[in-house]
Amino acid sequence: MHKYPKWLSPPILMLALLILILIIVPTKAYNQTPVSLDSLKTDTIDVNAPYDVADLLRTILHPNSQPKPIQKKSVITPMPNIAYNPSIGFQIGIKAVAGKKLGGDPNTLMSVAATSASITTKGILYVYLSHNVYTPGNKWNLQGIIVAAKTVTPDFGLGIGIGQGDSEADLILTNPDRKGYVLNAQYYKISEKVYKQIKDNLFVGAGVSFDIRRKIEDRNATDNQTPYFIYSEREGYDPNDYMANGFLFNVQYTTRDNQNRAYKGIYADAGIRVNQSWIGSTKNAVQFTTDFRKYWSLSHRNPEHVIAFWNWGSYLISGSLPYLELPGTAKDNNARSGRGYTTAYFKGNNYFYSEVEYRFPITRNKFLSGVTFFNVQTTQDNLGTKLFEYWQPAGGAGLRVLFNKATRTNLCIDYAVGKYGARGLFLGLNESF
């Protein structure tokens, strides 16, 4: 991990950059909006129209120009891929995102895709290509991702932070003191799901996922007495590499008005994953997963006032999972759950997570908005602590900068606090859920 002077740390640099933007941009930048035909007739300007980063840059470079109105069709948008959280450190790279409705059916949901290549101060290299495509009329939905990465994963043991067991190995495995370990590995993932709409907003789907880890090592371990090695030995895994390959079967229901930042609607997905050794999985396993999200807009005039709720769970029905594939903190598909803790801070065969967030506009043109959030999580450790027996909370607040008004893409800056002294700044694109 790189060492920084306190005044030069990535969180301080990012906050300083945001403050600098707010200082150098003329006040009129927050009041300029697209000029419609009606406004030209009345010589007035709609100060509530959305204003994003592109408008900001246009204001700086061309002070007398007007912001462009929201386009019906969005194009591919290249951007710097900047992020920060305690798990990865400071990330820099390049990213391209796209959002577009396919076909002429007004009920067709927006299709989104993204690709990125990045590097972080903790030595993580990450390249991915993802898509979530709805065909005209939502007849089909295709979701997939390809990942190639050099990972550096923080590890704090199995379970929810409650020491269990009779032996020293049990205490190391459950790690009640939350001692930090670090696991290095190569990671490759190929996943694709195809959904068919069988009724308005209701889809059934199937797919396959290959998760492969190679050259796994804890470079700071002087022996094999770490949670990873103890778990791998007990479950019969080669500690150097493994594969978790399986078939996916899902049912999805969605009425969200936008995938990046919903103001209203529901998203629900329930699925079965079946890992099978005959397609290369190290061990067989059957998992049941649930993902439920609900959004309530609190104002017709300002729909950005939103209460958002998220529940994500994963439950092992049979078989065994490799240690690094156990569900836990930030192990959801987008790695955004559990703000306040590092990735996999809590984990187990069965995991349950819930979060509530209040989103609200700060400026009338939607350029700046804010959030407050609170989350809880629970898991088990296979040594006596059961699911729902203990809960670990976290919470915080954040700032949003409208990056692309056509797709409602936001730059998200959050600060969250958990237990065991866990806390940190979380920076990324788009909402956590």
Question: Could you tell me the CA-to-CA distances from 246 to 190, 262, 377, 427 in Å, in that order?
Answer: 11, 31, 26, 32
CA distance 272 to 319: 13
* Residues 333-355: tens digit of each pLDDT: 888 999 999 999 999 999 999 99
Distance CA 408, CA 337 (A): 20
Pairing of strands 368-379, 392-404: antiparallel
How far apart are the C-alpha atoms of 45 and 36, rounded to whole Å? 8
Mean pLDDT of 80-102: 82
Element holding 242 (H helix, E strand): strand 242-254
pLDDT at 65: 67
CATH number of the domain at 71-429, please? 2.40.160.50
- Which segments of 240-288 does DSSP mark as H helices, in order? none
Closest CA to 52 of 37, 36, 74: 74
- Provide, rounded to the nearest whole percent, the portion of the chain with pLDDT above 90: 58
| Residue 30 pLDDT greater than 50, yes or no | no
The helix or strand, by DSSP H or E, that contains position 11, with its residue range, turns out to be helix 10-24
Of the candidates 17, 7, 58, 10, the one whose C-alpha atom is nearest the C-alpha of residue 405 is 58
d(CA 198, CA 231): 42
The CA radius of gyration of the chain, in Å to the nearest whole number, is: 23
CA distance 25 to 109: 35
The tens digit of pLDDT for each residue in 178-201 reads 888 999 999 999 999 999 999 999
pLDDT for 32 beyond 50? no
Average pLDDT, stretch 67-95? 72
pLDDT tens digit sequence for 345-385: 999 999 999 999 999 999 988 899 999 999 999 999 988 89
The single residue listed with the structure tokens 């987008």 is: 334
The distance from CA 410 to its chain's CA centroid, rounded to whole angstroms, is 13
pLDDT of 231-285, one tens digit each?
Answer: 999 999 999 999 999 999 999 999 999 888 999 999 999 999 999 999 999 999 9
- Give the per-residue pLDDT at 67: 61
Task: Find, among 216, 179, 187, the residue nearest to 124 by Cα.
Answer: 187
- What are the φ/ψ torsions at residue 238 (nearest 5 degrees)? -70, 120
Q: Tell me the helices (H) and strands (E) count for the chain, helix number first.
A: 5, 17
Give the three-state DSSP class for 269.
strand
To the nearest 10°, report the CA torsion of 135, 141, 142, 143.
130
Most confident of 46-60, 91-105, 294-308: 294-308
Per the structure block, which two tokens stand in for 301? 């005039």
25-29, 51-55, 337-341, 404-408 — which is least confidently predicted? 25-29
pLDDT confidence tier of residue 206, bands split at 50, 70 and 90: very high
Position 55 scores a pLDDT of 74
Exposed, middle or buried, 354 (CB in 10 Å: 0-12/13-18/19+)?
middle
Given this model, what pLDDT does residue 340 score?
Answer: 93
